[in-house]
Amino acid sequence: MKKKLLSLMLAGALAVTAFAGCGSSSGSGDSSSDSESADATTESADSENTLTVYAWDANFNIPALKAAEAAYQEKNPDFVLNIEEQSQSSDVEDAVTLAGSSGDYSTLPDIVLFQDHYIQKYVADYPDAWNTMADADIDWSDFGAEKLSYSTVDGVHYGVPVDNGTVIFAYRVDILEECGYTIDDVTGITWDRFIEIGKEVYDKTGKYLLSMDGDGNDLPYMMLQAEGASQFNEDGTPNLTSDTVKDIVDVITRMSKENVLYLANDWSDYTDQTIMGDMVAGVMNGNWIIPTIEQVEANSGKWEITTMPTLSGEEGYASNGGSSLYITSNCKNVELAQDFLAYTFGGGEGAVATYDAALTDGGVITCCLSAGESEVYQQGVEYFNGQAIYSKIVEMGGNVKTVTQSDYHYPARSLVAAAIININSGSDLDSELESAQEQLEFEMGL
């Protein structure tokens, strides 16, 4: 009964996190005084134990921060985390840009939540905006190397990872069984074998074994990362015409033509029509896609997760999305900020309490490997056929290969997506990727 109740709690909490929240409520802490006549000495004392953070998503990141505040209060009962909710992640980026452009960082909070794919550009553009985590008491080996690669610049740790973007491949096991397969049959296979199974599934059930938003195609990036490859060379130049990129794009176009992959028209078509509309027997994306899958209550108990196929047939691991917390140069109590982050999200004594509550209250999955060993993470999830998906996701995250990242990640993704659409319409694969390469080089000023 306890396991079933926990599964229901997790499913209920995660169901509200399918899309980024735009709520208007403030965080659990408030650094302002309740009275205009509050004693100045008291205000000064309170400020010594108060930190302010910018973050977005009332249903996802905000509960995780509240969980961290509660955990740290076990160590420091006077601690207050003043959470200033932003409507979206770009609001935080805009705040740093405005401060950096004016040369006045006094407008920034103590800590900001920042998207992984953007942080290195902002450290390079505004190096004076940040304090580092170099002096923090954190065992960095407790995190996957890929996750740390975003927040580490020139060997220096600038941030502490928060949410785990590890990719899952979720399958409708009831549909697989209808076609004579199990979850083991789609684990550790080649993409060619995946296509064979997908064709059979479509012929027998009319369901695609995979779908993806065709406009904002994350698929090539995830498939490349599972190969240990990137859309960029180590020197930062585009690498859209490599043999591996060509092989991946060829797989994608073949899957589309063979009715194995459905390329949706837009994000709504991808989520509402294909996943929640019961058109697919498989979903592959960052684990934040789980709440979307769980919207269909009738499919509870019919899903399980595993790793990705690869070109060679090895089990594939990738990550898509995620963010970390960073201390700004405006922080007046860097030691407190470092200790707070180390104690909670950084794997300290409060990490298990932080991440257990973050998972049950908001669906945030730990990046800290040891926190994923807790009892909460080991529980089976009823919707996923009793599988302990959260501990599995943490384990998979530790195996994601580090690949070259770029500030031009999103332009590259859009250009490859456009090339795939054109190839499916009859254009030549090599020519389309060469054109994408040239366009990206032009955009980068190369």
Number of folded domains in the chain?
2
Mean pLDDT of the chain: 89
Q: What is the pLDDT of residue 1?
A: 39
In a domain, 397, yes or no: no
In a domain, 364, yes or no: yes
Least confident of 39-48, 152-161, 215-224, 318-327: 39-48
Q: What is the mean pLDDT of residues 402-421?
A: 91
Give the whole-angstrom CA distance, residue 59 versus residue 63. 7
Contact 83, 111 (CB under 8 A): no
331 and 314, same structural domain?
no
- Tens digits of per-residue pLDDT, 162-176? 988 899 999 999 999
Give the whole-angstrom CA distance, residue 21 versus residue 57. 4
Least confident of 7-16, 32-41, 196-205, 304-313: 32-41
Among 352, 367, 392, where does a domain finish? 392
Contact 151, 277 (CB under 8 A): no
Identify which of 180, 212, 222, 207 has the alpha carbon closest to the alpha carbon of residue 307: 222
Angle, helices 89-102/116-125, rounded to nearest 10 degrees: 0
Overall pTM surpassing 0.75 (yes/no): yes
In a domain, 401, yes or no: no
- Tens digits of per-residue pLDDT, 12-67? 444 434 333 333 333 344 433 333 333 433 343 457 899 999 999 888 899 999 99
Instruction: Tell me what percent of the residues of the chain surpass a pLDDT of 90.
Output: 78
Q: Write the CA distances from 173 to 82, 177, 210, 299, 386, integer angstroms.
A: 44, 6, 14, 10, 12
Q: What is the pLDDT of residue 24?
A: 32
* Per-residue pLDDT at 11 exceeds 60: no
287 and 204, same structural domain?
yes
Q: What is the pLDDT of residue 4?
A: 39
Instruction: Tell me what percent of the residues of the chain surpass a pLDDT of 70.
Output: 89
Q: What is the pLDDT of residue 256?
A: 95
In a domain, 400, yes or no: no
- Tens digits of per-residue pLDDT, 243-284? 999 999 999 999 999 999 999 988 889 999 889 988 999 999
222 and 149, same structural domain?
no
In sequence order, the 6+-apart residues with CB closer than 8 A to the CB of 357 are 63, 66, 67, 70, 71
- The residue segments making up the domain with residue 147 are 2-165+321-392
- Quickly tell me which residue has 């941030």 as its tokens: 159
Q: What is the pLDDT of residue 405?
A: 85
pLDDT bin (cut points 50, 70, 90) of residue 217 is confident
Q: What is the pLDDT of residue 3?
A: 38
211 and 120, same structural domain?
no
In sequence order, the 6+-apart residues with CB closer than 8 A to the CB of 12 are none
Pairing relationship of beta strands 111-115 and 50-56 according to DSSP bridges: parallel
125 and 14, same structural domain?
yes
Q: Domain of 42: which CATH number?
A: 3.40.190.10
Q: What is the pLDDT of residue 34?
A: 38
In sequence order, the 6+-apart residues with CB closer than 8 A to the CB of 216 are 267, 413, 414, 417
Identify which of 217, 241, 245, 209 has the alpha carbon closest to the alpha carbon of residue 229: 245
Q: What is the pLDDT of residue 46?
A: 58
- Tens digits of per-residue pLDDT, 61-90? 999 999 999 999 999 999 999 999 999 899
Q: What is the pLDDT of residue 47?
A: 78
- Tens digits of per-residue pLDDT, 323-365? 999 999 999 999 999 999 999 999 999 999 999 999 999 889 9
Query: What sign does the dihedral 346-349-354-360 (CA atoms) show?
Result: positive
193 and 96, same structural domain?
no
